Amino acid sequence: MTRIIHTGDTHLGYQQYHRPERRADFLDSFRQVVEDAIARDVDAVVHAGDLFHDRRPTLSDVLGALSVLRDLSDADIPFLAIVGNHESKRDAQWLDLFETMGLATRLGASPALVDGVAVYGLDFVPRSQRDGLDYGFESNDAGHAVLVTHGLFEPFAHGDWDARDILTSSPVAFDALLLGDDHEPKTTRVEKPYETWLSYCGSTERASTAERAERGYNIVVFEEAIDIRRRGLDTRDFVFVDVELGHGEGTTRVTERLSEHDLTDSVVVVSIDGEGDPVTPATIEDYAAERGALTTRITDHREQPDEPDVEVTFADPDDAVRDRLEELQLSPAARELDETIRASKVADSNLADTVQQRVAERIEGDRSGFGTPSETDGTVSGSDEPEATADPTTDETASKQTDGDDGQITMEDYL
């Protein structure tokens, strides 16, 4: 029997609500997972990405991670991990540092062997790089094979990449995909011809108020079959209070509802709906603070004609960016640049040159990918382009060379 802890979406360094206590909470959850791993003497801890909330964690976040990983290493339990979308740097990864120090293994196309289980990894893959991806998974003669990866996969709801595409293309038949990115734990199985378990372990702390359910991690037990079990974590209390205000009800009704709960050291999340009077958030916050709450978040869902109706439904900011980019229906050129700047592996110092080069290549090639040019700052022009002029109709040369536009390609064209 082989037992592997599957965790991920740890988001170390996330100073949620600008509270240092919350930053400490994310580290504390990671420590709990590792303490459980040591207490249960599991065979490995697999991390499915987003160990860090940001690609630039502070030194104390890195030191926190190191201290937890060192405890795991001292117990001779391997830490096998991949890189998620939140923490992905353009060149070397934090995980590479931990690997250099002997505290982690960065999973990839060659399997890490854990007591009869071959464990492979695939870092988060930006959308533009998914088609025709060469996985290169090497063969194994272990009894089981699993792939650890990060992203939103179909057949789960909100998936933007069908996990069955990976399974079909992979030269290795996986018994399970151990996933990160979706912060809600969920497990399903795709049947023949795949016969593969797909499982999200969920986040270990609440990275957004949408994450109401208990946080935890999974233990994957490999015998003849595979069994995926769930373990809860003791995280900071979140008190969710959903108030439906009736006619004539307001702030007092909200504080009455808060009085039904122990708010000590908790994050209080108040959601207001219905009719009723306007509420004063400061009064509600003060009430909760007097009863020991760490912080209070208030969302009033009632119609507020003066404010734009912005509905926040994402579990993590990158998802929101992704959704927004989809809404914008950017041209292929714009998406390529977005990937280059935001999610690619281009070194920071080379970024400006790379963007300029990609734009130049686009200008050489198909111009139809661009929108209407405009005259703004931030001009990026190909090296062979003529100097731009303010009025395209007065410069025949520029006009000819640029299909009637003014010869300037500006960043606004991509946004």
Nearer of residues 182 and 336 to Mn ion, judged by Cβ? 182
Span of 123-131, 157-165, 278-286, 312-320 interacting with Mn ion by CB under 5 A: 312-320
SS3 (DSSP) at 201: coil
Cis before residue 278, ω within 30 degrees of 0? no
Q: Which is nearer to Mn ion, 209 or 408 (CB)?
A: 209
Of 9-17, 91-99, 104-112, 115-123, the segment contacting Mn ion by CB under 5 A is 9-17
319 binds Mn ion (CB under 5 A): no
- Minimum distance from CB of 9 to Mn ion (Å)? 4
- Closer of 205 and 385 to Mn ion (Cβ): 205
Pairing state between β 409-410 and 379-380: antiparallel
Instruction: Give SS3 for 69.
Output: helix
Q: Interface with Mn ion by CB under 5 A: which range of 166-174, 252-260, 313-321, 363-371?
A: 313-321
Alpha-carbon separation of residue 347 from 82, 89, 183, 318, 344 (angstroms): 19, 8, 29, 20, 9
Minimal distance, residue 384 CB to Mn ion, in Å: 43
CB 181 → Mn ion: shortest distance, Å? 6
| Cα 296 from Cα 311, distance rounded (Å) | 19
Interface positions, 364-403, toward Mn ion (CB under 5 A): none
Residues numbered 64-93 forming contacts with Mn ion, rule: CB under 5 A: none
- Structure tokens, 278: 């306007």
Binding mask 266-305 for Mn ion (x = CB under 5 A): ----------------------------------------
Nearest Cα to Cα of residue 183 among 311, 313, 271: 313
Residue type, 93: Q
- Asked whether the beta carbons of 55 and 91 are under 8 A apart, the reply is no
Binding segment for Mn ion among 267-275, 315-323, 348-356, 384-392 (CB under 5 A)?
A: 315-323
Binding range to Mn ion, per CB under 5 A, among 154-162, 240-248, 310-318, 328-336? 310-318
Closest distance to Mn ion from the beta carbon of 180 (Å) = 7
Q: How far is residue 168's CA from residue 164's CA, in Å, rounded to a whole number?
A: 6
50 binds Mn ion (CB under 5 A): yes
Least distance CB 415 / Mn ion (angstroms): 26
Question: End-to-end alpha-carbon separation of the chain, Å?
Answer: 53
Helix, strand, or coil here: 158? coil
State the minimum distance, in angstroms, from the CB of residue 295 to Mn ion.
21
| In the complex, minimum distance from the CB of residue 6 to Mn ion, in angstroms, rounded to a whole number | 14
Q: Which of 9, 28, 87, 338 binds Mn ion (CB under 5 A)?
A: 9
Q: Which of 86, 144, 150, 183 is catalytic?
A: 86
Q: Name residues whose C-beta falls within 8 Å of residue 34's C-beta, 6 or more positions apart in sequence.
A: 45, 68, 69, 71, 72
Contact between 205 and Mn ion by CB under 5 A: the answer reads no
Report the helix count and the strand count for the chain, using DSSP H and E: 10, 19
The residue count for binding Mn ion (CB under 5 A) is 3
Spatial separation of the C-alpha atoms in residues 251 and 254, rounded to whole Å: 5
Of 10 and 344, the one with the shorter C-beta distance to Mn ion is: 10
Indicate the residue among 51 and 220 with the shorter CB distance to Mn ion.
51
How many degrees, rounded to 5, is the angle at CA 138 between CA 136 and CA 142?
A: 150
Is 301 one of the annotated active-site residues of the chain?
no
Cβ atoms of 149 and 137 closer than 8 Å: no
**Between residues 113 and 210, which has the closer beta carbon with respect to Mn ion?**
210
What DSSP letter does each residue of 93-115 carry, written as one string?
A: -HHHHHHHTTS-EE--SSPEEET
Q: Indicate the residue among 209 and 296 with the shorter CB distance to Mn ion.
A: 209
- Residue 166's H or E segment, with its range, is helix 163-169
Indicate which residues carry an active-site annotation. Answer: 86
Q: Which residue ranges make up the site for Mn ion (CB under 5 A)? A: 9, 50, 316
